[in-house]
Amino acid sequence: DGGITQSPKYLFRKEGQNVTLSCEQNLNHDAMYWYRQDPGQGLRLIYYSQIVNDFQKGDIAEGYSVSREKKESFPLTVTSAQKNPTAFYLCASSPDRMEKLFFGSGTQLSVL
Amino acid sequence: SQQGEEDPQALSIQEGENATMNCSYKTSINNLQWYRQNSGRGLVHLILIRSNEREKHSGRLRVTLDTSKKSSSLLITASRAADTASYFCATAGGSARQLTFGSGTQLTVLP
**Cα–Cα distance, A48 to B14 (Å, whole number):** 40
Please state, in angstroms and rounded to a whole number, the distance separating the CA atoms of residues B44 and A86.
23
B42-87 confidence digits (pLDDT tens): 999 999 999 999 999 999 999 999 999 999 999 999 999 999 999 9
pLDDT at A1 (0 to 100): 57
State which residue of chain B sits closest to A56, comparing Cα positions: B97
Question: Which pLDDT does position A40 carry in this prediction?
Answer: 81
Could you tell me which residue, A1 or A70, shows the higher pLDDT? A70
Q: Measured in whole angstroms, how far is the alpha carbon of residue B25 from the centre of its chain? A: 12
What is the phi/psi pair of residue A32, to 5°?
Answer: -135, 150
The closest alpha carbon to A10, from A76, A106, A95, A103, belongs to A106
Are B84 and A21 in contact, with CB atoms under 8 Å apart?
Answer: no
Alpha carbon B4 to chain centroid, angstroms? 10
Q: Could you report the per-residue pLDDT of A10-19, keeping only the tens digit for each? A: 999 988 899 9
Chain centroid to Cα A24, Å, comes to 10
pLDDT digits (tens, 9 = 90+) for A41-74: 889 999 999 999 999 999 999 999 999 999 999 9
Mean pLDDT of B30-52: 95
pLDDT for residue B1: 45
Whether residue A108 and residue B44 make contact (CB cut-off 8 A), yes or no, is no
Q: pLDDT category, B94, cuts 50, 70, 90?
A: low
Query: Within 10 A of B5 (CB to CB), how many other CB atoms are there?
Result: 17
Chain A residue at shortest CA distance from B85: A40
Nearest to A89 by CA among B38, B85, B42, B88: B42
DSSP assignment letter at A98 = S
Residues of chain B that touch chain A, judged by Cβ-Cβ distance less than 8 Å: 1-2, 4, 30-31, 33, 35, 40-45, 48, 88, 90, 92, 96-104, 106
- What radius of gyration, in Å, describes the C-alpha atoms of chain B? 13
Dist. CA B37–CA B102, nearest whole Å:
13
pLDDT of res. B109: 97
Query: Is residue A27 within 8 angstroms of chain B, CB to CB?
Result: no
